[in-house]
Amino acid sequence: MDYKELVAGALANVLEGSLSKEEIYNLVEKPKNADHGDLAFPCFTLAKALRKSPVAIAQELAEKIDGADFDGVLAIGPYINFRLNRQVVASNVLEEIHEKGEAYGSSNIGQGGNVTIDMSSPNIAKPFSMGHLRSTVIGNAIANLMAKAGYNPIKINHLGDWGTQFGKLIVAYKLWGTPEEVKADPIKELLRLYVKFHEEAEIHPELEDEGRLWFKKLEDGDEEAQELWTWFKDESMKEFNRVYDMLDVKFDHNTGESFYNDKMQEVIDILKDKGLLKVNRGAHIVELDKYDLNPALIMKTNGSTLYITRDLATALYRNRTFNFVQSLYVVGSEQANHFKQLKAVLNEMGFEKSKDMHHIEFGLITLGGKKLSTRKGKIVLLEQVLKDSVALAKKQIEEKNPNLENKDEVAHQVGVGAVVFHDLKNDRRNNFDFNLEEVVQFEGETGPYVQYTYARTQSILEKAKGLKIENETYELSDDYSWSVIKLLENYPNITKLAVEKYEPSIIAKYVINLAQAFNKYYANSKILVEDQALYARLRLVEATATVIKDGLGLLGVHAPKEM
Ligand code: ARG
């Protein structure tokens, strides 16, 4: 039920054509002050046509409107305020949620269209960074949101498993590495080798040439190079998969940059055919002056390809394979220029779908106000953060609910949920400083607070099982339940908005509001009493539970029944 529509209809009946129903509809808004009413119509636009002051118009119209569908119609200043019929709304919303369950709030805007989501995409032989955590959890939430809106999300882990750095790594390993050391602690050792390479290369620049040479060998399929690279990659994947398991994130495809090694010739050919490829000191570039961008470097002097070359091939491949309606790249804002170049080159190539490619950027995580840097060893070890958070959750459970059956499972869901929720609750473009104590906060506007509210609904519903329900009406009219109902009613708009803006924080903020409104209701009413309105109150609890669980689910956070 669309209540704006109801208000617009009532207004259209008395306005006799001065404005179309659609125009009226678009003007209806929520009053800033909820005490004034649930919906309001500003009369400014009518002043000219009716040659009266908006205040006078509001007065007159408010008297004329048929109030039968409303709990009140009241002019306040230049606004006509409408109070919706609480029982009618309560019954509509709660019935709908009861019937639809977790399908409430979903739509078919996407009509099954494929949306590729390039997400996570860590670089092998390096630790899984906080930036990659952001890409993973934001990408995962966006995939869930797209599915909720009727799209078919395709989650792709575009692993950074190709490029000159692997030539350098091979050189470093051959000079200073041993199989035993790599096996013992793969990423740590590979990182050590990589850092050592850069230190040594300062003194012996010829190492850089060695590195380039070995990458060229790798590109050309040299057996030794291939073997080492595959090994480094497998070891890295083992570590990354531990993180994905903890986060409970799954991918549809793990096609990284190396997958495109044999698919770049097509790009080079199109660029050549169209006369776009210019040779500049032996390197091949595409000039992008007319986009106000630096030239894109497509091929190095020795014939090696670059990050962007692989992304060009990737775009063509994804369109051919998935015929996407949208292609999303969940990557930090620092790569904004890269994605502008990518789209510009594709546009030059005549690739029309470039307009459906979107860089879903997100802000930087800093540490003590400074940028994290793998090379300088300034890193936050994500796995450790998750483990610390889980340990803290376990401690709290031990204190508050020592008899809980599946303590470890719940501690895991709460601890990991805290980290994920913390990442998602702010607008994705915002930068934030990493602070472990803040991440593992369980009170205030946090994931565990919302999870705790869900657990509360479950315990209420459990206790209600023995009670006798007298009638099935919706006699709810107090302000506390009304706040909850209005929020529940708005959930479909919220999911829609979050999809349009690719913004999981809209959902996170919403579930916090819902949890807070519900807890106020809980604190101010007796729910488990056998009276006229018991049925309505239990439906309210149930609906809140359904929507919180679904909202958390969209964010990739579990909702344990007890904690
Ligand atoms: N591996 C890259 C990095 O860590 C991110 C890849 C993003 N995806 C893409 N198609 N370029 O910086």
Within-domain flag for 49: yes
Identify the CATH number of the domain in which residue 17 sits: 3.30.1360.70
Q: Which atom of ligand 1 is nearest to the CA of 307?
A: 11
Residue nearest to atom 1 of ligand 1 (CA): 160
Structure tokens at 104: 């409430």
327: Cβ below 6 Å to ligand 1? no
The response to whether residue 158 sits with its C-beta less than 6 Å from ligand 1 reads: yes
- 302 within 8 A of 216, measured Cβ to Cβ: yes
Residue 492 falls inside a structural domain: yes
Shortest-distance atom of ligand 1 to CA 314:
10
Using one digit for the tens of pLDDT, what is the confidence trace for 232-272? 999 999 999 999 999 999 999 999 999 999 999 999 999 99
Answer yes or no: is 374 within a domain.
no
Among 84, 105, 120, the domain-final residue is: 84
pLDDT digit string, tens, across residues 125-145:
888 888 899 999 999 999 999
> Is the CB of residue 308 below 6 angstroms from any atom belonging to ligand 1?
no
Residue 131 lies in a domain: no
| CB of 37 closer than 6 angstroms to any ligand 1 atom | no
pLDDT score of 329 more than 90: yes
Query: Which candidate, 277, 234, 286, 291, places its Cα nearest to that of 258?
Result: 234
Q: Is the distance from the beta carbon of residue 542 to the nearest atom of ligand 1 less than 6 Å? A: no
Matching residue, tokens 């602070």: 435
Share of the chain above pLDDT 70, in %: 99
Q: Which of 128, 264, 331, 373 to mutate to test the pocket of ligand 1 (most atoms within 8 A of CB)?
A: 331
Domain with 479, as residue range(s), is 382-555
Q: Which atom of ligand 1 is nearest to the CA of 338?
A: 11
Q: How far is the CA of 122 from the centre of ligand 1 (A)?
A: 7
Q: Is residue 339 part of a domain?
A: no
Please identify, among 63, 84, 105, the residue that sits at the C-terminal boundary of a domain.
Answer: 84
Residue 205 lies in a domain: no
pLDDT value at 415 more than 70: yes
Q: Choose the final residue of a domain: 84, 118, 143.
A: 84
- Give the type of residue at 487: L
Q: What percent of the chain has pLDDT over 90?
A: 85
Does 20 score more than 70 pLDDT?
Answer: yes
Give the count of domains, the chain: 2
Mean per-residue pLDDT, 296-313:
93
Per-residue b or e along 430-459, where b marks 16 or more CB atoms closer than 10 Å to that residue's CB = eeeeeeeeebbbbeebbbbbbbbbbbbbbe
pLDDT at 110: 98
Q: Is 458 near ligand 1, meaning CB less than 6 Å away? A: no
Q: For residue 255, is it within any domain?
A: no
CATH of the domain at 476: 1.10.730.10
CA distance 443 to 31: 30
Looking at residue 379, what is its pLDDT?
66
Considering only CA atoms, which of 124, 44, 122, 110 is closest in space to residue 77? 44
Task: Report if residue 348 sits inside a domain.
Answer: no
